[in-house]
């Protein structure tokens, strides 16, 4: 895995509320890391014991329902990626309008007092995208990811069902959390300030594969290869043990990984990727670790398509004094 040490960033008109930290001196101790949000991750054991709880809503997230129809966790309902993401002004995988998202949540039978558990058939990208959506609607504190996803559930030989549950539409009422979504202007300010400030309250995390971050490879809808200046690279797949066993790495391992990328206690962090999928997994992981993440929904496909946004290829060079 390639980990790039990014510049610390400070944002002017960012709607993300965070005050600038005073740079630590040689005599100061580093601030203690925030507590891990253990409520955001549930084990297969926990879920198996709580499947009968009417308040627990299990959601299988995927591109289509083909795999769901072949077998899923008993009682799980299916959520399609396209139900929560759309193309807007040529930018892929943008959050749908609030009224459409609320309608989806209600049809799934999710109520304000539900305990939602999300999983997918991969490493957690689709489930994390659904988590960002629910967090945006105010359900982040009542939603968790299944650790190990579908792969671990099947590997453990747990029960599988092919029956779709009968759903009763809920009366879910959203409580919007718009500060978790960073705009193009937010990221533009953060990137610009990265070249001027030694330490600041916002860091940029690029969750794409190292080859894309370095500009060696460009993905679809990316006219200019490379990355946003000042961003550090933490590949989304590196948050889990492996693609075959997608349980999250230990909090200590994850903290070290993001710490090497410049994330510090008290920092606001903005994650991005190509279109917001991998960045959602980074967003979830950072929130699980107790940090204050936001998602740049337009991500690099939007950034690289603009005519007035700089793009950097190759590895970031740390400033003097940075790790």
Give the pLDDT of the chain (323 residues) as one tens digit per residue.
333 333 333 333 333 333 333 344 444 466 889 999 999 999 999 999 999 999 999 999 999 999 999 999 999 999 999 999 999 988 999 999 999 999 999 999 999 999 999 999 999 999 999 999 999 999 999 999 999 999 999 999 999 999 999 999 999 999 999 999 999 999 998 888 766 655 556 789 999 999 999 999 988 889 999 999 999 999 999 999 999 999 999 999 999 999 999 898 887 899 999 999 999 999 999 999 999 999 999 999 999 999 999 999 988 765 544 54
Helix (H) or strand (E) holding 252: helix 251-260
Superfamily for 38-155? Rhodanese-like domain (3.40.250.10)
CB atoms within 10 A of CB 157: 7
Model confidence, pTM = 0.89
Interior/surface letters 59-88, b for 16+ CB within 10 angstroms, e for the rest: bbbbeeeeebeeebbbbbbbbbbebbbeee
Q: What fold, for 178-305?
A: Oxidized Rhodanese; domain 1 (3.40.250)
Delimit the CATH 3.40.250.10 region(s) of the chain. 38-155, 178-305
Nearby residues of 9 by Cβ (< 8 Å), 6 or more positions away: 190, 191, 193, 194, 197, 200, 201, 202, 203, 204, 230
């Amino acid at each position: 895995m390639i980990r790039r040490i990014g510049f610390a960033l400070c944002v002017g008109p960012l709607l993300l509320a965070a005050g600038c930290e005073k740079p630590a001196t040689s005599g100061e101790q580093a601030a203690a890391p925030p507590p891990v949000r253990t409520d955001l991750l549930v084990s297969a054991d926990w879920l198996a014991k709580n499947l009968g709880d009417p308040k627990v809503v299990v959601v299988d997230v995927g591109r289509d329902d083909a795999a769901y129809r072949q077998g899923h966790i008993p009682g799980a309902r299916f959520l399609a990626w396209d139900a929560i993401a759309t193309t807007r002004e040529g930018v892929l995988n943008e959050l749908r309008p609030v009224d459409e998202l609320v309608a989806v949540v209600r049809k799934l039978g999710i109520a304000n007092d539900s305990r939602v558990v999300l999983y997918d058939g991969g490493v957690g990208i689709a489930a994390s995208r659904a988590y960002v959506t629910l967090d945006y609607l105010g359900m982040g504190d009542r939603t968790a990811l299944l650790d190990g996803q579908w792969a671990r559930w099947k590997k453990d030989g747990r029960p599988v069902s092919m029956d779709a549950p009968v759903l009763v539409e809920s009366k879910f009422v959203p409580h919007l959390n718009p500060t978790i979504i960073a705009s193009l202007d937010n990221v533009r300010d953060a990137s610009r300030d990265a070249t001027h400030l030694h330490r600041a309250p916002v860091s940029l995390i690029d969750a794409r594969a190292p080859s894309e971050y370095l500009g060696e490879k460009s993905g679809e809808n990316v006219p200019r290869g490379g990355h946003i200046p000042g961003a550090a690279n933490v590949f989304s797949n590196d948050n889990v043990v492996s693609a075959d066993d997608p349980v999250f790495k230990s909090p200590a391992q994850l903290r070290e990984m993001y710490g090497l990328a410049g994330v510090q206690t008290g920092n606001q962090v903005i994650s991005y990727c190509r279109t917001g999928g991998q960045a959602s997994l980074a967003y979830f992981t950072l929130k699980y670790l107790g940090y204050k993440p936001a998602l740049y929904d337009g991500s690099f496909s939007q950034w690289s398509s603009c005519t007035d946004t700089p793009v950097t290829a190759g590895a970031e060079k740390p400033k003097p004094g940075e790790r």
